[in-house]
Structure 1
Amino acid sequence: MEYQNNLFKFNLSNLHLPKSARLRSFGIYLSGALFSIGFWSLIDASIYSKTVNASDVHVTFIDWIPLICSGLGMLIVNSIEKHNLMNNNLDGQQAGMFGDQGNYVWAARVILFLGFSLLAGGLAGSFMVLILKYLMNHYTFPTLSMGVANVVCNGCVMLSCIVLWLSQNIEDEYSYSLAL
C-alpha cells in the first residue's frame, strides 16, 4: 500500500466514478447530513430546555414520540428494495412466508406504505406537539423554538429517508439483467 500525502482522510480520486455511482454517493451523504441536522436539532432543544430555558416548559417524552415514529418509519422504508415492489415475476424464487409471488409484492407494498405512514405520522405528530403544547399556550419564541426544532427534526428525518431510499435504488448505467 502506497503512502499518499493527503490532507484529508477521504480520497477524492473517486470522482471519476460513473454518473450514477456519484449520484448514489452524493445522495447517501446528503441523507446522512439531513438526518444528523434533524436529530441534533431536537438534542439541542432538549439541552436548551433543561439548562438555559427560564420557563416552566421543557422537552419531555411527548416531544420525542414523533421522532421515534419517524425513526421506525425510516428503518422500515429503507428495508424494502425497489425491485421487490415492481417485480411481479421473481424468476422461480421462493416467495418467503407468503407462498405466492403476487402476495410477496403486495406485502412489500403494504410494508412500504406502513413505513411512510409512520414517517408522515411522526411529522404530523411534531406539528401537533408544536400546536398543542406551544402555540395554544401562547409561548413566545425562545420557548416556541423547542416546538419548531421538533418539526425541523421530523421533517429532516423524513427527507433523509426519502433521499436515502431513492439513492440506494438508483439503477447503474452499466447494470444489466441476465434473465432470458
Structure 2
Amino acid sequence: MSAHHPFRFPKPAWLNSANTRTAGVYAAGALFSLGFYCLIDIAVWSKSALNPSDPPVHITFVDWIPGICSALGMLVINSIDKSRLSADSFSYSGNGVAWKARLVLFLGFALLAGGLAGSVTVLVLKYIVREYIWPTLWLGVGNVVANGLVMLSSAVLWVAQNMEDEYTYNLAL
C-alpha cells in the first residue's frame, strides 16, 4: 500500500482527466443555476394571480435569507486556495496560514449548512405549521430544494477543483 494514499484502492484514471474536471465545473454551474431558478420561480409564483392561498402568502426577505447564506457560503468555500489548507507555519506566507484557511473554510461550510437549515425552518414555521396545501407549500419546498442544490453545487465544484490540482501535478511530473 502506498504511503501517501489513505485508501487501499487507487483512484480510477478517469478522475484525473481534464474532461472530468470540466464536466464537474459545468455540473456545478448547472446545479447552482437550477437552485437559483427555483428561488426565482417561487418568488414570481408567490406574487402571481395563480397563488391559491387564502390569505395570500408571499415570498418575503425572510425567505431569501437562506439562499443568500448558501450563496455566500459557496463563494467563501470555493475562494480558498487548497494548498493553504495543508500549509505549515514555516511556509513563506507567514504564521498560522493553515489554521486561518481552515477557519475560513469552516465558516463557509457553516454558511452553507445555515442556509439549508434556515430554509427548512422557514418551510416548517411558515408553511407546514399553518397547514397550507400543496400549491402554496411549494413556496417552502422550493426554498429547501434551492438551498440543497446550491450546497450540492458547492460540493461538486470543490471536488472538481481538487481534480485540477492533481491533474496539473501529474502533468508536471
TM-score normalised by structure 1 residue count: 0.80
Once residues 27 and 156 of structure 1 are traced to their aligned partners in structure 2, the CA distance between those partners, rounded to angstroms, is 14
Query: Highest Rg: 1 or 2?
Result: 1
Deviations 1:83-106 (A, max 9, x none): 11123266x5232xxxx1xx1100
Counterpart in 1 of 2:11?
A: none
Once residues 20 and 135 of structure 2 are traced to their aligned partners in structure 1, the CA distance between those partners, rounded to angstroms, is 39
2:35 is aligned with 1:38: yes
Higher mean C-alpha deviation, range 77-86 or range 143-152 = 77-86
Higher mean C-alpha deviation, range 148-157 or range 18-27 = 18-27
Amino acid at match of 1:41: C
CA contact (8 A) 1:74 1:161 kept: yes
Counterpart in 1 of 2:170?
A: 174
Once residues 81 and 145 of structure 1 are traced to their aligned partners in structure 2, the CA distance between those partners, rounded to angstroms, is 38
Once residues 104 and 176 of structure 1 are traced to their aligned partners in structure 2, the CA distance between those partners, rounded to angstroms, is 25
Counterpart in 2 of 1:23?
A: 20
Once residues 19 and 144 of structure 1 are traced to their aligned partners in structure 2, the CA distance between those partners, rounded to angstroms, is 43
CA contact (8 A) 1:81 1:169 kept: no
Amino acid at match of 1:93: Y
Deviations 1:29-56 (A, max 9, x none): 0000100110001101111110121321
TM-score normalised by structure 2 residue count: 0.83
Deviations 1:51-71 (A, max 9, x none): 121321111111000001001
* Structure 2: segments with no counterpart, 5+ residues: 1-13
Aligned-residue CA RMSD in angstroms?
1.8
Counterpart in 2 of 1:117?
A: 110
Q: Structure 1's 84 and 162: CA in aligned 2 closer, same or farther, altered over 3 A?
A: same
2:109 is aligned with 1:83: no
Identity of aligned residues (%): 53
Q: Structure 1's 18 and 72: CA in aligned 2 closer, same or farther, altered over 3 A?
A: closer
Deviations 1:123-153 (A, max 9, x none): 0000000000000000000000010000000
Q: How many residues align?
A: 154
Q: Structure 1's 166 and 123: CA in aligned 2 closer, same or farther, altered over 3 A?
A: same
CA contact (8 A) 1:77 1:116 kept: yes
* Structure 1: segments with no counterpart, 5+ residues: 1-16
Amino acid at match of 1:149: G
